[in-house]
Chains A and B, each alone.
Chain A
């Protein structure tokens, strides 16, 4: 199997190289009208097929590595270092991306997989897809060069082959880690498709915005994968790292957030290009930046440039990524300079109070957040280079900047949909804003009346603002649904619920987007709860108890267990509320024999109001007493509920619109076509 894997990777490199070179020659011949011995169309077709073939070859290589993990083939150095015989089956899959070489192979597989789908669907626009396919082949060549020469996953062990492997990193032995990295990589590399289309469209001076229409679903799916990847990572950190939080502004976390921010900005601003032919320069650079930030994220994760609890696979391949990043930016800049006159806007911004300006503000704020995070992430590197000593910026820096930015974004989420395209009059603003603004003020007053004191500390102030804005956005989103559904109801006579469903199906993108916005609101409600987190650490022996908020925790027992993969020591704790036992928790401390390392398994009792988050911190080395650490984290469950709503909203947005309803058809004739046709016939 190692022979097949190595051969398949070499074959994939040759096929991707052929796709790049033959594809570029064919496109050049088609552009200049030159003809070789083989027609350019035929040459382009072989290039496309070579791209498809590269996916088959990389699939064979990935299969060979997974096979080696499942058959405990410790002659392969990668399997020796990242697996062992006692490792459960699902984690043997995870071994594929737990190290440098394996994760690069997974990336190459996902990248060629995206390319495979793109090349199969080439009939949507043969020429534009040929450009995108050639650009993707260039990216594939880079990753396959890495896999063949810098980080080969099928290197063999020299000398005697050990009987067992060194095992998988214990931090990775958690259910989310089986799906979190692939989700994240699908997100990172998914952006290479809209990037390839945008660069291709610019290279060929593609007229119109159809490339955006073609890549719309790619971009949304990619954004969804990245969103899921980020939140699965947050959930993993919350459940495994045992510090009571879900986001620590770690460089690797930041690396995934930066392309998400620019990708989110791109998803919003392309609507302006589609609808009004505006912001073309901006959009092109947004997608270029998103792709470049994905590469930068990879560089940060892999190079050891910045230290992180998530950087599981550090090595010296950073220089390869730097070179690739420079090449990508140079190609983008060169193409942009050459073709920038093609990106002339069809309309100008007519008013600062319009849907367009709200999109623009949204983009500026997202980019400001991205720049802040980039600066904070790279600051240790920059300070070391300039001053000679590494200065790290911690969560207080990020929170001070990101929290106000996040709240302003939440505000824009509420007002954007209420503004009209082109310009909004004062009368229109008053008409649409009165209810949401009243909702915000009523929420703030109720919160203060129930005991919140925003003037006492900044955490409480920000939470009050977040919950008030959440009420405003919820009312704004709700009123959009309600008003639209009433129009449908008047035309069809259906009940309000059926009308809402029909409304959503008429324009899935818009109303799916509103559902996503509501999901973001719910996430913010959960995030704002963190201002009121409490924690307590205490020695807790048999039959002793401690209280945390409304809970009383009583120690029932301490015990030990063992299985072939790890030894475990755990506490059995009964949890009481109002004198009644509500659950039993068993926080663990595990010791993995193969890797000789320990890990913490958190026990969490989650409700809509609080998470009772309990860690068994081991025994006090001085007196041998067991130590229990308890956190009471308010509203955390709402973060995960919000993510589920975001996922559902994105799915709705991905569904094609149903054929226009009767009312819409009538309005098209009455409002759009009739006067327009009359105007043209009238010699306008």
Chain B
């Protein structure tokens, strides 16, 4: 009984592992553009949080304005780079700068 169970386990797993699969997921390399788009979303999230906390009365006006300006500049730089890369058609560039 044990031998039969062992054989069934072996055959079942072997078939599962090596069964020919034609729809294999491609392993794409993430591009700088993908990274910038993620970064843009994060900066927008940070802006939303800042705005919410300001409305909640957590920051004085001058602190809020300074932080908002810094985040908006960061977002503007990111969007400018995204637009530049999109114009250059580098959407699938494997070259990454860290």
Contact = CB atoms under 8 A, between A and B. Distances in A.
A418 B63 CA distance: 14
A275 B26 CA distance: 30
Contacts of A483: 56-58
B52 A210 contact: no
B88 interface: no
B18 A46 contact: yes
A577 B23 CA distance: 74
Interface stretch (A84-92, A421-429, A434-442, A528-536): A421-429
Contact of A127 (B6, B27, B58, B96): B27
Interface string A657-679: 00010001001100111011101
Contacts of A21: none
A207 to B, nearest CB: 4
Nearest to A47: B17
A341 B96 CA distance: 13
A281 interface: no
- Give the contact-size bracket for chain A: 35 or more
Contact of B17 (A15, A125, A277, A660): A15
B51 A207 contact: no
A15 B38 CA distance: 36
Contacts of A42: 21, 24
Nearest to B20: A42
B94 to A, nearest CB: 10
Contacts of B28: 126-127
Interface string B23-60: 01111111110110011001011111111110111111
Interface centre among B27, B42, B68, B76 (most CB of A within 10 A): B27
Contact of B3 (A3, A39, A45, A130): A3
Nearest to A490: B55
Interface string A274-303: 110100000000000000000000000000
Contact of A427 (B38, B47, B60): B60
Contact of A680 (B13, B26, B46, B76): B76
Given A422-B67, A672-B47, A677 B9 contact: no
Contacts of A644: none
A487 B27 contact: no
A50 interface: yes
Contact of A205 (B25, B75, B98): B98
A60 B10 CA distance: 11
A671 B48 contact: yes
Contact of A432 (B2, B58, B70): B58
Contacts of A206: 30
Contacts of A507: 49
B5 A4 contact: yes
B13 A15 contact: yes
B93 to A, nearest CB: 11
A486 B26 contact: no
Q: Range of interface residues on chain B?
A: 35 or more
Contacts, number: 165
A207 B98 contact: yes
B25 A30 contact: no
A420 B96 contact: no
Contacts of A7: 2, 6, 9-10
Say whether chain A's binding surface is mostly helix, strand, loop, or mixed: helix
B86 interface: no
A394 interface: no
Nearest to A44: B27
Of A8, A277, A418, most B-chain CB atoms within 10 Å? A8
Nearest to B6: A7
A679 B76 contact: yes
Contact of A274 (B10, B42, B73): B42
A421 B67 contact: yes
Interface in A341-357: 341-344
Interface string B73-94: 1011101100100000000000
A431 interface: yes
Given A4-B2, A8-B9, A341-B98, A431 B60 contact: yes
A275 B72 contact: no
A123 interface: yes
B21 A428 contact: no
A675 B46 CA distance: 15
A219 B48 CA distance: 25
A425 B67 CA distance: 11
Interface in A634-684: 660, 664, 667-668, 671-673, 675-677, 679-680, 684
Select the residue from A42, A420, A425 with max chain B CB neighbours within 10 A.
A420
B56 A487 contact: yes
A74 to B, nearest CB: 18
A207 B44 CA distance: 19
Contact of B55 (A130, A487, A680): A487
B96 to A, nearest CB: 5
B34 A208 contact: yes
Contacts of B13: 11, 15, 53, 56-57
Interface string A1-41: 10110011001000100100000000000100000000111
30 contacts: A4-B5, A8-B9, A11-B9, A30-B27, A41-B24, A53-B16, A56-B13, A57-B9, A127-B27, A127-B29, A127-B30, A207-B96, A208-B34, A420-B58, A420-B59, A421-B46, A427-B62, A428-B59, A431-B60, A660-B48, A664-B48, A667-B52, A667-B55, A671-B47, A671-B51, A672-B72, A672-B75, A675-B72, A679-B72, A680-B76
Given A126-B26, A487-B55, 6 more contacts: A41-B25, A343-B98, A421-B46, A660-B48, A684-B73, A684-B76
The 5 A-B pairs at the shortest CB distance, nearest first, are namely: A483-B56, A672-B47, A3-B2, A679-B76, A127-B27
Interface of B: 2-3, 5-6, 9-10, 13, 16-18, 21, 24-32, 34-35, 38-39, 42, 44-53, 55-60, 62-63, 67-68, 70, 72-73, 75-77, 79-80, 83, 96, 98
Interface of A: 1, 3-4, 7-8, 11, 15, 18, 30, 39-42, 44-46, 49-50, 52-53, 56-57, 60, 122-123, 125-127, 130, 205-210, 274-275, 277, 341-344, 418, 420-422, 424-425, 427-428, 431-432, 483-484, 486-487, 507, 660, 664, 667-668, 671-673, 675-677, 679-680, 684
